[in-house]
Chain A
Amino acid sequence: MRISTGGALTLLGLLGLAHTTLAVIQYRQVLKLSQEEFEALPASILLELVLSAAVAVLGGYLLTGPIKVAIMPAKGRSMDISSLRTDFISFNMRSRAMPLDIPPLTS
């Protein structure tokens, strides 16, 4: 199964964020053992957080894919809409199974 670049970056970023979570949990445990108050996260954890978030967001940006021009020019319309005949789409329904020789309700 081939993973795209965006998918790989997203996965890496999410793993990094999970690792950052574990690091923060361990840091707080160490603080509790040494009976110190939690004031701020250390710079190394913050750096890891920022890098992982940046990689994850970049992966998401790549996963989003390209955007297309929505306004059609007057000339040179693309092929993808030429077969779009939404006015002719039909739907099946069970009314075909209904017998036609039953008397109408109002008469």
Chain B
Amino acid sequence: MAPKRQIKGGSIQELVNPSAYKSNLQALDFLRNFTAVIAGIVVGICGVVGWHGFIYHFLSQLACAGAMILKGCTKPAQYFVSWNTLLFHSALSSTTLLSYILFWMIFYNLCHVF
């Protein structure tokens, strides 16, 4: 696939470098999954129980967007093409959510049940 042209409303806007875009998304994926695991561990050790435990997961996922901005993504349109991608890509995916639940469960059981 050649570098994609973005066409908005009939006029060509700008070219996207597919390898750089893919590499950015992979970096965001990794950070989101890693943060989900660490957040699950922390929440499990603290002994949080109940539906409000998911709030910490969504907060940690939002913090990943902040981490990307710290990495140098001052203009998300240039690195992730849109704000939605930066905020929500793989934030609500099953991998991150289920990893969070898994580690939350494991560490809660280790510390507070067994």
User: What residues make up the interface of A, taking CB atoms closer than 8 Å to B?
Assistant: 13, 17, 20-21, 24-25, 28, 38, 41, 49, 53, 56-57, 60-61, 63-72, 78, 80-81, 84, 86-87
Contact = CB atoms under 8 A, between A and B. Distances in A.
Contacts of A61: 31, 67, 70-71
B2 interface: yes
A70 B30 contact: no
A25 B71 contact: no
B67 A69 contact: no
A87 to B, nearest CB: 6
Given A17-B41, A57-B38, A87 B1 contact: yes
B42 interface: yes
B77 A71 contact: yes
Nearest to B73: A67
A67 B45 contact: no
Main secondary structure, interface of B, reads helix
B72 A66 contact: yes
B21 A70 contact: yes
Chain B: interface size category: 35 or more
Contacts of B18: 84
A81 B1 CA distance: 11
Contacts of B72: 66-67
Contacts of B16: 70-72
Interface string B53-86: 0000000000000011011110001111100000
B98 interface: no
